[in-house]
Amino acid sequence: MVKGTVKFFNRTRNYGFIDGDDGKSYFVHGTGLKSGVDIDEGDKVSFKATRGDRGPKAEDVEKLQKQKMLKNLKKKKKNKSK
C-alpha cells in the first residue's frame, strides 16, 4: 500500500488526484474509493497503486485518519480494562 495526500477530488466529475509519498501523482476515480469513503483535498490516504490507461492510478483508497482514530479507541478501551 502507498500513502499520500489528496491533491483534489471533484465530486461532480467523480475523479481527482493523489500526491503519493513516493513522489508520483496518482489518478483516482470514485470507483477506486473503498465503500463508504469520501475524500477531500488535504486528506491523508492509503491506496493500492496500479497502472491505468494513462499512467499511475489509485485503487482501494481509504483515509488514514479514520484508521488512527480506531487504533486510539482500542488503546483507550484496553487502558480502561486494566
Please report where in the chains the cell 492510478 appears, as a residue.
57
Pick the CATH number of 2-80 from 3.40.1410.10, 3.40.50.970, 2.40.50.140, 3.40.640.10: 2.40.50.140
Per-residue pLDDT tens for 22-74? 999 999 999 999 999 999 999 999 999 999 999 999 999 999 965 555 556 66
Q: Flag whether the pTM goes above 0.85.
A: no
Q: How far is CA 80 from CA 20, 69, 73, 75, 76, in A?
A: 37, 17, 11, 9, 6
Q: Which residues of 63-79 are buried (b: 16+ CB within 10 A; e: fewer)?
A: beeeeeeeeeeeeeeee
